[in-house]
A = this chain, B = another copy of it.
Amino acid sequence: MAICYNPPSLVKPIVVRPSTSLSSTPKPNYFRCNLSFPSTTIHLPVSEPEPVFASVKAFAPATVANLGPGFDFLGCAVDGLGDFVSLSVDSSVHPGQISISQISGDPTSKLSRNPLWNCAGIAAIEVMKMLGIRSVGLSLSLEKGLPLGSGLGSSAASAAAAAVAVNEIFGGKLGSEQLVLAGLKSEEKVSGYHADNVGPAIMGGFVLIGNYEPLELKRLIFPKEKELYFVLVTPEFEAPTKKMRAALPLEIGMAHHVWNCSQAGALVAAVLEGDLVGLGKALSRDKIVEPRRAPLIPGMEAVKKAAIEAGAFGCTISGAGPTAVAVIDCKERGEMIGEKMVEAFWNEGKLKSVAAVRRLDRVGARLVDSNPR
């Protein structure tokens, strides 16, 4: 998870033109975009699209990336937690530009209103570039529902909501894969070029990142008839992505590599088969990343133990932490597990924490409101 800090030299909101090169390029754009396993060539519209709404509001869910042995290539979306982006056509904003009018929600003090330094702003600009928007100015309002630096994909949620909002206000010309590319521009700037949060934030469900050049995203469909709940326990503790990444080994022994690969395979199989026991087991068996990161989060090892003892199918660190994530098939049991995890964070780590039990989000970023022109 990444944080958009307010850079000291840039304190005033400014507006940004998506791209001078693009705005001066009237020729058709062809983005070759091999985004799913069968290769796809997406031909963008030659003409600049008109806005189809006066304003829209989009939601993007929190995401759990890494998932133990799924480190850096697998993530999933969780329902009911996330960020909102409201977007309106604004004649007071210079055509082809975007302005961030407001940021609300808990962690606003750290967030920049400069679109170039804001996760939502960067993704919105990217989508405007992709669509070739030159004649319409937009005003964006970001409502943060996710805490920063918690391991729940806060930056990705902002980027995803913004990307979807811009796309939808112009009639939804772009596919979800292109929106992920836009979100990646944002992630690249704030935390690194990783799609394991922004992929599921936009696409919903589980998403496997198969490649970056070209981007290949694979949806892993968890069976519709099965329930999957995440117990998310977030302690009051800062675990910056950079520090958590620095804790990782540079080299991995062959035995651990094979082990984690086999668990990654088992995890993917469990997702596709809706096998919660297998999913929990594979999730919990990372021998490479979790063993380095867990000791940096006070109480994490005890929290994992408590979750599994209380009946969770498995438990690991969400993203780069500090949130712990456990999996279960029942909300009530999840709440009980969450209590035990909160207790363990307090007893063993001396950390206050909050628990939430959330379903798998199968939809991803979407419009929640719109007003016609």
A269 in complex: contacting residue of B208, B254, B261, CB < 8 Å: B208
Q: Which residues of B contact A69 (CB under 8 A)?
A: 261
A249–B254 touching, CB < 8 Å: yes
The yes or no answer to A114 lying at the interface (CB within 8 A) is no
The yes or no answer to A74 lying at the interface (CB within 8 A) is yes
A266 to B37, CA, bound (A): 10
The yes or no answer to A258 lying at the interface (CB within 8 A) is yes
B71–A258 touching, CB < 8 Å: yes
Q: How far is the CB of A97 from chain B (nearest CB, A)?
A: 37
A38 to B270, CA, bound (A): 12
Specify which of A73, A74, A268, A278 lies most central, judged by the most chain B CB atoms within 10 Å of its CB: A268
Q: How far is the CB of A8 from chain B (nearest CB, A)?
A: 32
- Scan A253-264; emit 1 where CB is below 8 A from any B CB, else 0: 110011011111
B38–A258 touching, CB < 8 Å: no
Task: Please provide the chain A residues from 12 to 41 with a CB less than 8 Å away from any CB of chain B in the complex.
Answer: 37-38
How many chain A residues touch B (CB < 8 A): the figure is 41
A261 in complex: contacting residue of B73, B218, B281, CB < 8 Å: B73
The yes or no answer to A210 lying at the interface (CB within 8 A) is yes
Q: How far is the CB of A367 from chain B (nearest CB, A)?
A: 29
Q: Which residues of B contact A262 (CB under 8 A)?
A: 72-74, 208-210, 264
The yes or no answer to A46 lying at the interface (CB within 8 A) is no
B288–A257 touching, CB < 8 Å: yes
Residue of B nearest to A245 (CB): B254
B272–A272 touching, CB < 8 Å: yes
- Scan A275-305; emit 1 where CB is below 8 A from any B CB, else 0: 1011001100000100000000000000000
| A278-B37 contact in complex given A265-B264, A268-B265, C-beta closer than 8 Å | yes
The yes or no answer to A251 lying at the interface (CB within 8 A) is yes
Q: How far is the CB of A19 from chain B (nearest CB, A)?
A: 30
A69 to B210, CA, bound (A): 12
Q: Which residues of B contact A38 (CB under 8 A)?
A: 277
A253 to B288, CA, bound (A): 12
Task: Please provide the chain A residues from 39 to 82 with a CB less than 8 Å away from any CB of chain B in the complex.
Answer: 69-74
A3 to B312, CA, bound (A): 45
- Scan A231-256; emit 1 where CB is below 8 A from any B CB, else 0: 00000000000000000111111100
The yes or no answer to A220 lying at the interface (CB within 8 A) is yes
Q: Which 9 pairs from chain A and chain B are nearest by CB?
A: A73-B262, A251-B251, A265-B268, A37-B278, A261-B264, A72-B258, A268-B268, A264-B265, A252-B252
What are 26 residue pairs bridging A and B, where the CB atoms are less than 8 Å apart in the complex?
A37-B270, A37-B275, A37-B277, A37-B281, A69-B261, A71-B261, A72-B258, A72-B262, A73-B258, A73-B265, A74-B262, A208-B266, A208-B269, A210-B281, A248-B254, A251-B254, A252-B253, A252-B257, A257-B260, A262-B264, A264-B265, A265-B265, A265-B268, A268-B269, A269-B272, A272-B272
